[in-house]
Amino acid sequence: MFYPLLFFIVLHGIFLTCAYTGWSNLNSTPRKTIEYEDNHVIMFKEEGIWNYSTMLIREDLGLLVLGAREAVYALDINDISVAKSKVLWKVTEEKQKECTSKGKHPDIDCHNYVRMLHQMNSSMMYVCGTNAFSPTCDYITYSDGQLKLEGKLEDGRGKCPFDPFQRSSSVIVDEDLYSATSFNFLGSDPVLLRTSPITLRTMLRSFNEPSFVYMDVVPESEDSPEGDDDKVYMFFSENAVEYDFYNKLVVSRVARVCKGDIGGQRTLQRKWTSFLKARLDCSVPEPSLPYVIQDVFHVRHEKWRKSVFYAVFTSQSRSTDQSSAVCAFNVTDISEVFSRGKFKTEVTVEMSDVKWVTYNGDIPVPRPGACINNAARSLGIKGTLDLPDKTLQFIRDRPLMDDAVRPITGKPLLLKRGPLLTRLVVEVVTASDGQSYPVMFVGTENGYVQKAVNYDGEIHVIEEVKLFQNSEPIDILRLYQNQLYAGSASGVVQMPVSNCSRYSSCLDCVLARDPYCAWDVTTLRCSRLPTSPEDPKGNLIQSLKDGDATQCPTSATVEPKIRTLILGNNVMLLCRADSNLAQVNWNFAGKPLPYSNRKYTIYSDGILIYNASANDAGLYTCTSVEQAKGKQYTQTLAIYDLCDRFPVVVTDKIKTTLGILTESYTTSSGLHKTEKPPSYATNQSSESKWVVMQVALALISVMVACLLIWNVYMGHISPFMCCGRQPIKSHRNLPEREYMRTGSDAVDTKQPMVRLCVTTNSTIEATSFHRNTSNGDTSTNNHISKYITDESEI
């Protein structure tokens, strides 16, 4: 009885371990976290203007054209804080009243939100706005340093959304506008529209409550032996029709149309004859509902077959444990599904609704949904007007493909728990080894941008930077010449793609594995890698794939900081690692500090010693250990010499008072020395591990309990009791910036070489610390008790 049950327990543990390993290999923690106070970015915002969510980079004019609510700006592309021009585009009073009368909010919905900006030619731009739920478009020019609306108003239906918060997408191809949005006020008529001399649109049944995300053209006619046509690809999500669920299930899609499509002769007149759509798959290791696409970035290549679409997906589960993923798709894989995959078709099942199943019948020639190519021309079909009705009727009834498009690696490149990812851009960077690596900049819903790089399938998250103080979602991201531009509801931020000065040492610089940065042995600093092949590279150390820092010179010896120990006081020794991935260790008198001892509490910023005594005097050493590709790198961060130079005679009465003060300290700070502070927010891998361990522990506990009850019942063993152990405080699960300063002593962890000695004659200090996280800021409040200079005062 015992052995089969034991085997089942072990087998179940192995399964859970494998499931966790599959997730943890993808789920990465940013190596560095840069808070808002330290981001050193350039910001633009104007009082009373909101929703900076539309951008157009005019490289020829040196401008970032920015669309917001009822305003368009021309900003200096090198310094967006400089606004060169501004033009207001407000709704009329009549339009606002009309919007309000239709039940829309006058202060939110009934404004003109600029949702589209495109360059038509060197002198003209095309701009569209919601115009109080009456979408309108106009032309805008920039001359003599001034923006000007031309006043050539056009109907914006099908080009710009009615609802300012509804997703839409558009692209200009050969001066024709391709747009995907709603065609009516209610949002019940979504369309893919081409505005051109021959206007085309999709049929009413082409979409099922979609959310349009992205659109771009791929020049597939170049070097095509089949004489193929260019194609416009569109990414969106919609309610699935192919699955049977008791409620709506959202799936991600990619669709395409041919640039040369002009509709059918009799069937599908002024409708797309080449519209096809397929499901996008971005599956995560753990069972879940399909992830929903949120944003796409097209990494173009000189040879279009090597182009890649990167996409952000988020979970649609309503659980509190939200997660996001980034997947990459090859253009050729998408094209293969459309050109060679099977179709889905509707069938009527008895006592049931219509179902979508795989179509196994004959497929007409030319193939439905295909562009006009050499094979079609050989049959006398010169354009879509010549397509036979059989082909057109087939594509009209069966636009959905049976096969799904799989990501390049078969799995997500990046997985993240916590605040959801919103937008992304990708830049291909050439490093010192001559190889090119894709670097992803991914925005989050709480105002951060994460920078991650793909090293042959291994995703390394270099850093995360908080761009906006109010933790608001990032609505748009753009890249231009080593500058990143991010827009949100309250403003726009410009930041360099890399700030190498953040890496303080050679070890920190190399282990960052940042393709933009390398350690300069000559200048002894982390510098930006030269971008031009002609620039001298000098003597640089960079190891991206391996993170090999063995070439770094030996660091200077860390001088001890001398601290005076005051008997009965609480002492805080500050020490913080350069990396979130580093493990901080403390040694006392040459031996590892006993973390299980209730006398100490370990924080991410240091160690707190309670009720110091003469036995606590000695040498404290703080080191960090960081792993990279199986190698461990140890660095001494700080050394403290805690000395009892001025002993204080402490009577029983003073000891009693000290106990009261210490109790008051722990109560006011909200962190009793036997309690664990909140977990470190950025340690996502620890959180996911804890969830898995909880599940495993619960299952094993139930099984072991059943086994024990059976053995007691059979008389194999006698009843016994177990005692739980005191939980151990782990410094990896502690607040990031929680520290205490004693008296006037303020230790700077950035300068561990400075010798510091604090002396106090016959004085006793009681201090407390508190971390305020109500608005995301970290602050320290010191409550210093009255100095006790006479025993009679007690």
The residues spanned by each domain of the chain are 1-28+701-720, 31-37+454-549, 41-166, 214-342+352-421, 561-683+732-793
Q: What pLDDT does 129 receive?
A: 98
Handedness of CA 218, 222, 228, 229 (dihedral sign): positive
Q: What pLDDT does 668 receive?
A: 35
- CATH class of this structure's domain 561-683+732-793: mainly beta
> By percentage, how much of the chain surpasses pLDDT 70?
78
Mean pLDDT of the chain, nearest integer = 82
Q: What pLDDT does 687 receive?
A: 44
> By percentage, how much of the chain surpasses pLDDT 90?
66
pLDDT classification of 535: cutoffs 50, 70, 90? low
Q: What pLDDT does 705 receive?
A: 77
Q: pLDDT digits over 663-710, tens only?
A: 333 333 333 333 333 333 334 444 445 555 666 777 787 787 777 777
> Considering the entire predicted model, what is its pTM?
0.79
Question: Domain 31-37+454-549 belongs to what architecture?
Answer: 2-Layer Sandwich (3.30)
Q: What pLDDT does 598 receive?
A: 79
Question: Domain 214-342+352-421 belongs to what architecture?
Answer: 7 Propeller (2.130)
Cβ contacts of 531-536, under 8 Å, gap ≥ 24: 531/482
pLDDT at 3 over 70: no
With both helix axes pointing from N to C terminus, report the angle between 684-714 and 2-24 in degrees, rounded to the nearest 10.
180
Q: pLDDT digits over 716-754, tens only?
A: 665 544 444 344 343 333 333 333 333 333 333 333 333
CB-based contact 624:578 (threshold 8 Å): yes
Residue range 320-348: average pLDDT? 93
**Three-state secondary-structure class, residue 532:** coil
Which residues are CB-neighbours of 64 under 8 A, at least 6 positions away? 55, 56, 57, 58, 74, 75, 76, 77, 80, 478, 480, 485
Closest CA to 505 of 641, 633, 605: 633
What span, in angstroms and rounded, lies between the C-alpha atoms of 277 and 234? 9
Which residues are CB-neighbours of 268 under 8 A, at least 6 positions away? 203, 392, 395, 396
